[in-house]
Structure 1
Amino acid sequence: MSSAGGSSASRGDRPVLVLLAAGLATRYGGVKPLAPLGLHGEAVVDLTVGDARAAGIDEVVAVLGPRTGPAIAYHLARTWPADLTVHQVLQPVPLGTAHALLCARPVLGERPFVVVNGDDVYGPDALALVVDHLRRGPAEHALVAYDLARSLVGDGPVTRGTVQVADDGLLAWIDERRQVRRRPDGRFEAADGREPAELDPSTPVSVNLFGCTPAIWPAVAEAVAEVHPQVRPDGSLPADAEPPSPTEVLLPEVLCALVAGKLPGEVQAVRVLRTEARCVGVTHQADLPLAKAAIAELVATGQRPEWPWASPQEA
């Protein structure tokens, strides 16, 4: 896919935003990154990228898929500010978030970056938290952890990675729990047949907001190659390659293997950054009005701006 915007050569080590928007959204039944959550009909990706821009990011790599990519590319070309550098890269087959990240590698080079889902609104405070971590230059990756209760919209079941934090504040493990929902009595449960079935509302969870240094690239490439040996280190596939299996390699799995020393090379640390922000995402169609109401409440209480860019009066 094409890229737009000016040169990034002078930006040094300023973090770049990687927007993972190649998902098929089978449960939602539409193009989730374009779901209109803002007060004025702004899309999910508008709100997230606007928050990242407010945190000091002015370059975005949008990883798009062949099915929904053209609609997303059309939207961002028509609505995003001209001073925001945007690259569009294609994830040709849906092999998971780790593979999607590899597809962005040729653009990112050796710069630090922030990874976000294209169907979640993380909030300006959470984006600022991870950007500040990377700008301080530690040799650690970062994971932003939300309270479970602040990561759910509606009552439909979702998957959440519960975060186990070591005493030094570093990531120990991410335990993926399925069928997580809020019960009618206000408590939270994971109906996946595992214990504990009831989850504390303050349980730290991951919703795929990460900050990474370039040191992560060999681990990501190795993890993807173990499952899909035909995938090159830049995410591409040879023209004569056999069709890959549908097995997805997920970025949280790579981070867990990295901190546990289960991938070649040195063990790398992942700092867990706790946030009190609310993450608003859309999983099911029924979530849409609830998510829009949640965004409106955050605006009304001053927790996020009304406009993702400048308001019409300021433009």
Structure 2
Amino acid sequence: MKKPVLVIMAAGMGSRYGGLKQIDPVGPNGQIILDYSIYDAHRAGFERVVFIIRPELRDAFEQAIGRKARSFMQVDYAYQTLDSLPEGLRAPEGREKPLGTAHAVWCARGLTEGCPIAVINADDFYGADAFRKVYDYLSAAEDDEKYRYCMVGYRVENTLTENGTVSRGVCTADENGLLDSIVERTAICRAADGTIGYAADGDEPAGIIAEGTPVSMNLWGFTPSFLPVLDDGLRRFFAEKLPQNPMKGEYYLPFAVDELILAGRATARVLTTQARWFGVTYREDKPVVCAAIAEMTARGEYPAQL
């Protein structure tokens, strides 16, 4: 069995933040969030990383992190472009926005064939515990009558920002710790009365999310079966969903996994963590992230120079 590969999604436009947030320094010596993710992943056992980026960002990424990561991990680049699609598919005329996180992972298929993969966002700080859990799971996971995937579930209260709202995949798990369903909720924030709520969506009213509820931060673990299955999922997305919103519709990883679970073809074990998520969703988040990393560095959890 091949060793797990870390796949990092970094092709997003960063529109809410207003710039290329993936290479913005947050550490005491100019480290970026990706430095900490790769450091934690390497400590957990990962020896190879694939960055999914836009082609025009390659030089910036190589300068910011690729050349450093090469000293202890194999580094490869996959490119998410609108013309990288299963045979016979074509992006809508005039489309500029990327086609979503599931499409991004599909774009790495040539570099990860036959390998278990862990997938993360470039601009989220996940914590060492999450990488250990997903690596250990993938090192032993095997498909049987179903595809056996996993995700790391964060307590919803550990994933909020004080500077705006966030969107999260809110999860429910069965008595065996397997993902039952995942529902994307938008405009999540803590209200003045202390409750955590989400916005109305179409005909669905606004609601409350109980503290302790696991949410997805797009840290997934997949056996080698996943990328071939994504090929079929992309075709269904293009046929059924994309025509409803051709300029902005996206094929998200949680949707792809949920579809397989509901069809009885896959399971996803929820690996729970008490870790606090940190991310730079808004520019005002950066000082909070910098302070948190400085504190962890002072406690000895990370060296001042990674």
- Specify the TM-score bucket, using the shorter chain as the normaliser: 0.7 to 0.9
**What's the counterpart of residue 207 of structure 1?**
217
Matches of 1:90 and 1:307 in 2, distance apart? 32
Secondary structure, in 3 states, of the residue corresponding to 2:81? coil
Which residues of 2 match residues 148-187 of structure 1 at below 5 A? 148-187=156-195
**C-alpha spacing 1:215/1:181, structure 2 compared with 1 (3 Å):** same
1:294 to partner: Cα distance:
2.2
Normalising by structure 1, we get a TM-score of: 0.83
Match of 2:229 among 219, 234, 238: 219
**What's the counterpart of residue 87 of structure 2?**
none
**What's the counterpart of residue 22 of structure 2?**
33
Large movers: runs of 4+ above 4 Å: 193-196
Matches of 1:256 and 1:299 in 2, distance apart? 37
2:105 is aligned with 1:116: no
1:279 to partner: Cα distance:
1.3
Secondary structure, in 3 states, of the residue corresponding to 1:30? coil
1:103 to partner: Cα distance:
0.9
Counterpart amino acid of residue 269 in structure 1: T
Normalising by structure 2, we get a TM-score of: 0.85
1:182 to partner: Cα distance:
2.4
Match of 2:111 among 103, 107, 114: 107
**What is the RMSD computed on CA atoms of the aligned residues?**
2.0
Counterpart amino acid of residue 25 in structure 2: P
Note if contact 1:146-1:205 (Cα within 8 Å) is conserved in structure 2: yes
Note if contact 1:155-1:182 (Cα within 8 Å) is conserved in structure 2: no
Counterpart amino acid of residue 149 in structure 2: H
Matches of 2:18 and 2:45 in 1, distance apart? 33
User: Could you report, residue by residue, the CA deviation over 1:45-80 in whole angstroms, capped at 9, with x for unpaired residues?
Assistant: 111111101101010000001454442233123432
**What's the counterpart of residue 95 of structure 2?**
none
Q: Report how many aligned residue pairs link the two structures.
A: 279
Secondary structure, in 3 states, of the residue corresponding to 1:228? helix
Matches of 2:189 and 2:120 in 1, distance apart? 22
Matches of 1:34 and 1:254 in 2, distance apart? 28
Residue ranges of structure 1 left out of the alignment (5+ in a row): 1-11, 230-243, 310-315
**C-alpha spacing 1:189/1:246, structure 2 compared with 1 (3 Å):** closer
Matches of 2:32 and 2:196 in 1, distance apart? 29
Note if contact 1:50-1:308 (Cα within 8 Å) is conserved in structure 2: no
2:176 is aligned with 1:197: no
**What's the counterpart of residue 83 of structure 1?**
72
Counterpart amino acid of residue 175 in structure 1: V
Counterpart amino acid of residue 303 in structure 2: E
Please say which of residues 31-40 and 155-164 is displaced more in the overlay: 31-40
Counterpart amino acid of residue 305 in structure 1: Y
**What's the counterpart of residue 285 of structure 1?**
283
1:217 to partner: Cα distance:
2.1
Which residues of 2 match residues 1-315 of structure 1 at below 5 A? 13-93=2-82, 94-139=98-143, 140-192=148-200, 194-195=204-205, 197-228=207-238, 245-261=247-263, 267-301=265-299, 304-307=301-304, 309=306
Counterpart amino acid of residue 136 in structure 2: D
Secondary structure, in 3 states, of the residue corresponding to 2:289? helix
Secondary structure, in 3 states, of the residue corresponding to 2:271? strand
Identity of aligned residues (%): 35
Please say which of residues 205-214 and 167-176 is displaced more in the overlay: 167-176
User: Could you report, residue by residue, the CA deviation over 1:241-297 in whole angstroms, capped at 9, with x for unpaired residues?
Assistant: xxx854211111000001111xxxx61111111111111111111111112122223
Counterpart amino acid of residue 123 in structure 2: D
Matches of 1:287 and 1:67 in 2, distance apart? 26
Larger helix proportion of the pair = 2
Matches of 1:133 and 1:208 in 2, distance apart? 16
